[in-house]
Chains A and B, each alone.
Chain A
Amino acid sequence: MRSLPALLLLLAAGFFARPAFAYPFMIGHGYTGCAQCHTDPSGGSALTEYGRAQAEIFMRSAYAPSKGDPGRIKDFAFGVPLPKELQLQGDVRGLLYPRPTDAAATEWTVRTLLMQADLRAHVKLGGLRAYGSVGYVSEGADLAWITSNTSGGNVVSREYWVGYDVMKGLLVRGGRLALPYGIRSEEHLLYARSATRTTTNDDQQLGLDAVYGRGKFRAELMGIAGNFQIGPDDYRERGYSALFAYAPMNTLEVGVSSLFTTTALDYEALLPRDRQAHGVFARYAPLEKVRFLAEGHVTVSSLDGEAGLVGSVGYLQVDTEPVQGLHVKGTGEWCETDHADDLDPAGRGTATVQWFFAPHMDVRLDAMYGPLYCTPGVEPGPAATAQLHLFL
């Protein structure tokens, strides 16, 4: 078997589709929970009116002294009036990345890709709530397809649910939901997200869920019924996912997560598979403009009744904001699928600049060195991407 020396990692653009934007660095502003700014109490999904105000007040770069209330520019489509029961949001995200035009990588081009074009809606009538999203991808997000075009773009629906606020701080809902596990963020290529299948790209599942947030605590428990946008039923995972978090102060949150699923036919291994992940996470902002995010998890994968392969995955990220709206981040990650094998763990370092330069807009540059996914033993290589995001 010949080995293929690595020249460069070619990044398949479709896998950068990031449908939800959740910013755990908001802990720097004392937000240990997510429900004030997001219609999903665990983050991501559409923003609330309050979240839109915060995005305008202190997430984006300020070019003039603040006038206080941000005004209508924060609203849907820069000021379209909506009933207070309804939140609408559109997200468009484009990607630039270099790719070779020939197999020998002697010639290169810069490719552009529409990663995301989603419309999301949240309705709240008394204690009743409903949420849904629909969008389009030109590649990837296979697990969220509505249409079934295997050679091109597809309509996708990543999340849809109906829920009820049972009491203060407790929402019970059913539908297709993002799995509650670890720190929810827009960075779905983090090993901690892809290796545990808890990305917000297309790893949502159908299920029943209870999410609680009050005071210093937040927690979520989801019973997983499976992804009914793939078939047949053999391929659907069943199980649970849960997290519990405590904020001893409003600049520190620590938590634990647990996940278990079983399937008759895993879509990657094509074998029966039990999959587990259990771990811890933390967010800490020693200074308002310096935040640390960290996760560490043990993973167990049992294929076809065999003894489980025990691995681990995690990362440490530091996010600094030298001037308002401009984020400079560094991330170090590791991933090991089986500690008993001889392969070195996958490791990756990423440097990121993300600039919220205008209302409803941000641009992001990433430079990374390491395998794209959790593939221990693979020779690392460099890669870079640029993204532009607009939300309405």
Chain B
Amino acid sequence: MTSALRSVFASVILFTPSAALAGLKVDSTIAAPKITFHANGEPGALDIDAVTNECTAADDGTTLTFTVPLGKLQTGIELRDEHMKDKFLLVGTYPNATLSFAKSNIAWPTELGKSAKGKLEAQFTAHGVTKPVSVTYDVSKTKQGYKATASFGYDISQHGIDVPSYLGVTVDAKQEAKAVIYLIDAP
């Protein structure tokens, strides 16, 4: 290979970072993913976290899609978990929530310890309805791959989910999702 050709090849590799990530997968060997759906409510200082450690990633080279099964969400109160899943989220019909975005929206860091931060537009699907969301992310390079931290706001009423209310206690429709996920670049 001539030096000129090597330079071109190197440039292609350097300036098309997505192409260098063959297929990102969730890496649970370092730590399980932590996905939190956070809601406030009223009356008073109502603060609810619905948490799960289950999440998978699908990477087709262009689009990265995270899928969270909702059947294992826990809020700390069993009856509330049952109501949430059976009466509002209808996980029997809509078992997953997904978040998809173009991989090229992130300048994936290549140097260990370096990070990339910013906002990107993504598509959030819940309860069979897809809406655009703005995701704030922080991706840092680890030995095995990446650590990704992200959050975004969403409105459950826009996804056709009834606003939960039980005996005078009502959850806000506008909520926030947060995630901490370790990714590995699988061949």
Does A227 lie at the interface of the complex (its beta carbon under 8 Å from any beta carbon of B)?
A: no
**In contact, A48 and B42 (Cβ under 8 angstroms):** no
Contact call B48/A250, Cβ cutoff below 8 A: yes
Q: Which residue of A lies closest to B45 (CB)?
A: A33
Smallest Cβ-Cβ distance to B83: which chain A residue:
A68
Distance A109 CA – B45 CA, assembled complex (angstroms): 47
In this complex, the interface size class of chain B, counting residues with CB under 8 Å from chain A, is: 10 to 19
Stretch at the interface among B91-99, B107-115, B120-128, B166-174: B166-174
Closest CB pairs A-B (n = 7): A35-B44, A33-B45, A213-B44, A33-B44, A50-B167, A213-B45, A35-B43
Contact B45–A216 (Cβ < 8 Å): yes
Please give, as numbers and ranges, the residues of chain B lying within 8 Å of A2 by CB-CB distance: none
C-alpha gap A174/B47 in the complex (Å): 28
Q: B49 contacts which chain A residues (CB < 8 A)?
A: 30, 249-250
Contact sample, A vs B, 28 pairs, CB 8 Å cutoff: A29-B76, A30-B47, A30-B49, A32-B47, A33-B45, A33-B46, A36-B46, A36-B169, A48-B167, A50-B168, A53-B167, A57-B77, A58-B79, A66-B79, A68-B82, A69-B79, A168-B42, A169-B42, A169-B44, A214-B40, A214-B44, A214-B45, A215-B40, A215-B45, A216-B47, A218-B45, A249-B49, A288-B76
Q: Report chain B residues within 8 Å CB of A34.
A: 44
Query: Is residue B60 contacting chain A, with contact meaning CB distance below 8 A?
Result: no
Task: Tell me whether B75 is interfacial, beta carbon within 8 Å.
Answer: yes
Instruction: Give the complex CA separation of A214 and B76 in angstroms.
Output: 20
The chain A residues found within 8 Å of chain B, CB to CB, are 29-30, 32-36, 41, 48-50, 53, 57-58, 66, 68-69, 168-169, 213-218, 245, 247, 249-250, 288
Tell me the bound Cα distance from A35 to B40 in angstroms. Answer: 13
A54's nearest neighbour on chain B, judged by CB, is B77
Q: Are B82 and A49 in contact (CB under 8 A)?
A: no
Which residue on B lies nearest to A39, using beta carbons? Answer: B43
CB distance from B131 to the nearest CB of A (A): 23
Measured in the bound complex, the distance between the Cα atoms of B82 and A213 in whole Å is 27
Bound form: Cα–Cα A110–B39 in Å: 51
Give chain A residues whose Cβ lies under 8 Å from the Cβ of B166: 50, 53
Residues in A whose Cβ lies below 8 Å from that of B167: 48-50, 53
User: Chain B residues near A169 (CB, 8 Å)?
Assistant: 42-45
Whole-angstrom CA separation of A129 from B36 in the bound complex: 36
Instruction: Name the A residues within 8 Å of B76 (CB-CB).
Output: 29-30, 250, 288
Inter-chain CA distance A33–B79, complex, in Å, is 19
Residues of A contacting B169 in the complex (Cβ-Cβ under 8 angstroms)? 36, 50
Given A68-B79, A68-B82, answer yes or no on A32-B45 (Cβ-Cβ < 8 Å).
Answer: yes
